[in-house]
Each structure stands twice: as structure tokens, then as C-alpha cells.
Chain A
């Protein structure tokens, strides 16, 4: 309160050359003017480019819409037809299962490697600076570059991976075509996704590890707990909140993955390795089934929304304290 009156009193001195009418308008303007002016552009963008499209996609998912309908706005309402198709059509259903299975595998892989790296970084080994720099770099590589890089490493004829495997005695991998089969394509994609996402998890967990009080660990050690017990009984319970946030965060990331799959799974027969985001996109923009594409997107959205709400709740709880 004192600030407002102080502002009003002294503002006159600073803005003396200005006409007093303008000043009076500024002063008379309600408390809401400034927040509204400041928030208006951002809110316009969020409502216009996120809110409206979201509602429109949900509406489209209940219609039969081809490219012409989309542009002229002449979609026909078909009720739940698209959703029935999503869950009955072999390929569409597979893409949803792929998303859950592949996404979960990526989350588990990322979390395990991330935790291992965080624990190692926390040991403050010699050459720690080198290690922390090394594990930071993959995070900086854009998804499209990473996908290209790993497509080259997993190339059937000239790729490094096949060469190394053959030299290690696995002759089965001579000219092995990783991207011609669903499961082996997933192995390659799993490696890319984990490679790109473990740095963030590791560095976040490291920040968490550094907040674990040393006294507590020492006390446990005095009580006879070995390193493994200290980790399970002291460190892990203290890390639970941050672990929960990171698991949700990476689940959201890995379930909506698009770039890597779009580039790397395109050679798999029958597009059997596509995930929901890619299938939804292709259904709409490659095949012209905008209603079906929207329905897949909405299903994916609903799955992620559940995780998002859990995430927002956790963050909100933390923000309040």
C-alpha cells in the first residue's frame, strides 16, 4: 500500500514535463491495467495457438475430414467412429502399444543410466570435469542430427556398429539391416533416445544428490550400513520427490517422441515401428485422414494429460513450500 502512495507522490516529480492529464489517467487506471497489458500478448498466443487448436483437434476427432473438408470446413460428424477405428485397426492399435512399450523402455533406460552417472559424478573422481563435460554434450545434439548420426552408426554395409560387432565375433551382424525389422529398429531408436536424454536426468539427479546431508550418511555409516544400504535406505528415500518429477517428465517426453521415430522407423516394413505421434501425423498429412489422425492425437494427449496432471501437482506442491 505504502508503495502505491509513494509512487503516486513521487511520480509527479519524475514525470514533471508530462501533461498532468496523462498522469491522472495513468493514476486513475485500475490496478488491473498493467497486468492485462503485460499478459495480453502472451495470452493471445497461448489461447490462439494452443487452446483453440486443441479444442479444434478434439472436435475434428469426431468427424470425417479430408483435405478439402479441412479447408472448406465441411467435415461430417461421425461420432465415435474414429476412436473405434483407432482401437480396432491393427496398425493404429499397434502404434499405441508401441508408444507405451517403447516409451516405458526408454524411461527405464534413461533413469537407470542417469542415476548411475549422477552417482559417479557425485563421487568427485579425478577428471570429474572431463566426465561431466562428456555427459553434457549429447544433450546439445538436436534430435534430427542425433537420428542421422545413429542411422550412420547403424548403417548395414558401412556402419561402425556392425563392423565392431563382427570383429567381436558376432558374424551374424555382417551387413545386418537394423532398420528393416521392427525390433532391431527399436534397439537403434532406444539407443538414440537414451543417449540424448540421460544427460538431463543425470545432472538433475546430481543436483538432488548434493542436497543429501552428509551427516545423515555418516550417521548411517557409523551404524554399520554399507554403501549399498546407505543408497537404498538414506539416499533413495530422500531423492524420491525429484525422482518422481523426473520419471513423469521423461515419460511425457518419451511418449510423445516424433523426430527420431519419423526418421529412423521409415524403412521398417508396414511402418510397424511407428509410434502414436508419427502414425497420427502420417494418418493426417500423408493419407489425408484428418479425423483419424486427430483421434490418435487426442488418445495420446489423454494419456499424457494424466501424467501432466500428476506432474503439475508435484511441482505445485513443491512451489508452495
Chain B
């Protein structure tokens, strides 16, 4: 009994918070599996009585969702590749080499992460328009580099700093050049950190909405968040389609999170909490 009094309420709290965290996700998944008649009802069931994949085949086939999925993958993928290469080089320099004004540069990079995107978007729009990049993949990828590169530099530098410098010195004594040591010694050890950084950059680009909303006026090249916004913004919302699209949109991120839980947390805290 004393145990119940002491620990019982904690279990109750944990259960309530788990429910708060999981229920919306659960409810979306079951809604996406329900037929229309079970969605538009005044007495919603907490279980799909006639589960079916119809919504998924429908949005992927008829809707723009399949195309948007491909667009999102292309844009987020290209952003990630460019971002990791560019930021990796800078992160190495800032972690290992003698760079004048290093501290100032680092603090500037950190500060850029705090900027509201709305403060950059008007000139970015003009830049894109003048370069004729509105409505193109390249335009959005370039715009996404504006916020993924500083983030990635900061996180990757955090990873590289933890690698003992003696390893490089040893490699260089054994005949490797600085660049050689960078590729042959640091790169393999930093690989997990690189994967985490790549994943975080991918997620950042995958989730981005405001820049896509502004630059992607081309119907064929819209990304998933834009399609979702169009669905939800209509007067008569097709909730089955919205929920299936939400699941398709969220699933890759959830998989990344579950696979790389520890690493991502490390990366996020390196970027957000620790120097």
C-alpha cells in the first residue's frame, strides 16, 4: 500500500503524459485507415472497424501526393548532400585549424540559427526572382542552405572537437598530409556524427514550409507540406486524404528518429545546449 501511495501517482502521471503524446498519432493512423462513413460520424470509434488502405492508394495515385513525395525527397536530399559537404569542410576548419576571428565566426553562425526566416524571405524572393529560380528545385535547395548550413556547421564542429587531435598528429607523423589525415582519420571516426548531421539537415529541409510556400508556385514541384496546407485550407476538408498524407509525410522522420535516437539527441544538444 505504501508503495502504491509513493509510486502509484507517478505511474498515473506517466500514463497520462504517454497518452497525451501518443493519442494524436494513433488517432491519425486509425483515421487514415477508416472508410469515409466512419470518418464523418458524430460518434467516432477508437478502432477502425473496417480497416482499408484505400486512402493511401487514392492520395498516392490520384492526388498530388505521390509527386509531392518525390519532390520533397529530391529537394531535401539535394540540400542534405550539399549541406554536409560544405558544412563539413567549414566545421573541420573551425574545429582544428587556426582561423582568425574563430570565436566571432562561431558566435555569428550560432546567431544565424536564431533568426526568424521571415526576416530573410523578402530579399531571398528578389534574389530567386532575378536569378529566374522561382518554382525550381535549385531555387528551393539554395534557399534551404541558408538555414541548414549554419546548423550543420555548429553540430559537426561539436562532433569533430571530441575526436582526439593526437590521432591526426599520429597519422601525419606516419606520412599523411593534413588533408589526407582529414579524409583517412577524421572522416571515418566522424562518420556517425556526419550521419546524424545529415539526418538533421534532411529533416530540417523536409519540414520547411514558409520558403516552399513562397518559392514553389509551380504545381508540379510542390512539396508535401504545401500539398497538406492546400488540403487543410479548403472549405470542405477531405480528412481521410489529409490524414493519409500526414502519415506519409511523417513516417520517414519517425523512422529516422527511432533509428538514430541517441545520435540525434547528441547532435541536437551539441547544437542547442552545449558548446
| Separation of A127 and B14 alpha carbons in the complex (Å) | 10
> Do residues B272 and A158 form an inter-chain contact, with CB atoms below 8 A?
no
- Of B41-49, B53-61, B185-193, the segment with at least 4 beta carbons within 8 Å of chain A is B41-49
> Do residues A312 and B10 form an inter-chain contact, with CB atoms below 8 A?
no
Question: Which residue of chain A has the shortest Cβ distance to B147 in the bound complex?
Answer: A50
In this assembly, does A54 line the interface, its C-beta being within 8 Å of a C-beta of chain B?
A: yes
- Point out the residues of chain A lying under 8 angstroms from B253, CB to CB: 140-142
- Point out the residues of chain A lying under 8 angstroms from B232, CB to CB: 147-148, 151, 263
Question: Which residue of chain B has the shortest Cβ distance to A293 in the bound complex?
Answer: B122
In this assembly, does A285 line the interface, its C-beta being within 8 Å of a C-beta of chain B?
A: yes
> Do residues B246 and A148 form an inter-chain contact, with CB atoms below 8 A?
yes
Question: Which residue of chain B has the shortest Cβ distance to A41 in the bound complex?
Answer: B86
In this assembly, does A149 line the interface, its C-beta being within 8 Å of a C-beta of chain B?
A: yes
> Do residues B111 and A308 form an inter-chain contact, with CB atoms below 8 A?
yes
In this assembly, does B233 line the interface, its C-beta being within 8 Å of a C-beta of chain A?
A: yes
Question: Which residue of chain A has the shortest Cβ distance to B233 in the bound complex?
Answer: A266
CB neighbors of A among B99-146 (8 A): 99-100, 103, 105, 107-112, 114-127, 129-130, 142-143, 145-146
Partner of B27, one of A131, A153, A315: A153
- Point out the residues of chain A lying under 8 angstroms from B163, CB to CB: none
Question: Which residue of chain A has the shortest Cβ distance to B142 in the bound complex?
Answer: A49
A-B contact count (CB 8 A): 303
> Do residues A294 and B122 form an inter-chain contact, with CB atoms below 8 A?
yes
Q: B260 → chain A, closest Cβ, in Å?
A: 11
In this assembly, does B243 line the interface, its C-beta being within 8 Å of a C-beta of chain A?
A: yes
Question: Which residue of chain A has the shortest Cβ distance to B214 in the bound complex?
Answer: A285
Partner of B97, one of A38, A41, A70: A38
> Do residues B99 and A56 form an inter-chain contact, with CB atoms below 8 A?
no
- Of A76-84, A215-223, A252-260, the segment with at least 4 beta carbons within 8 Å of chain B is A252-260
| Separation of A160 and B239 alpha carbons in the complex (Å) | 13
> Do residues A135 and B17 form an inter-chain contact, with CB atoms below 8 A?
yes
* B: number of interface residues (CB 8 Å): 107
Question: Which residue of chain B has the shortest Cβ distance to A300 in the bound complex?
Answer: B116
- Point out the residues of chain B lying under 8 angstroms from A150, CB to CB: 24
> Do residues A256 and B116 form an inter-chain contact, with CB atoms below 8 A?
yes
Q: A12 → chain B, closest Cβ, in Å?
A: 9
Partner of A246, one of B14, B119, B261, B273: B273
Question: Which residue of chain A has the shortest Cβ distance to B173 in the bound complex?
Answer: A6
What residues make up the interface of B, taking CB atoms closer than 8 Å to A? 7, 10-11, 13-14, 17-18, 20-22, 24-25, 27-28, 31, 39-44, 86-87, 89-90, 92-94, 97-100, 103, 105, 107-112, 114-127, 129-130, 142-143, 145-146, 149-150, 153, 169, 172-180, 206-207, 209-210, 213-214, 224-225, 228-229, 231-233, 237, 239, 242-243, 245-246, 249-250, 253-254, 256-258, 261, 265, 268-269, 272-275
Subset of 9 A-B contacts with CB under 8 Å: A35-B97, A35-B98, A46-B112, A113-B17, A127-B14, A145-B249, A158-B42, A262-B213, A315-B273
